Amino acid sequence: MNVKLVVVGKLKEKYFKAGIAEYAKRLSRFCKFSIVEVPDEQAPETLSQAQMDAVIEKEGDRILNKISDREYVYALAILGKERSSEEFAKEIDQLTTYGHSNITFVIGGSLGLSKAVLKRADTQISFGKFTLPHQLMRLVLTEQIYRAFMINAGSPYHK
């Protein structure tokens, strides 16, 4: 099984890198885990709606170039469906049972995801209405993926 994160921008803080590296190492017993970073579009601090749309579209094209037709795609979106850790674990288990061996999670840039990326996604997932830094979201998502595998393995990690 392959689990991939496609994310906009580079991870800068060492403590986020260390946390993600730890969960990636733990995940290696369950799957091949990878993170693909696509460049964020440089833009001025204040943007018109047309400029924002252009940034989102350019980042969206970069994201879509990293996703194949065979991948089952989760788009992280505030308006996506919230799931409990147990529901998420069951979903991952069912995906693998029904032949989805390539699961991809997409985290957009600071302006969000393009309509094309949201359309390509098989499902949208939300971690609530909080606004979180994208770098922190990578860590939270990686931990939740690990937690899902641990729940499915019957491990007491989740308790």
List residues forming the annotated binding site for S-adenosyl-L-methionine: 76, 108
The span from the CA of 78 to the CA of 130, in Å, is 8
Cα-based distances in Å from 136 to 68, 87, 113: 26, 22, 17
DSSP 35: E
Two structure tokens written together for 141? 């998502």
The span from the CA of 152 to the CA of 54, in Å, is 41
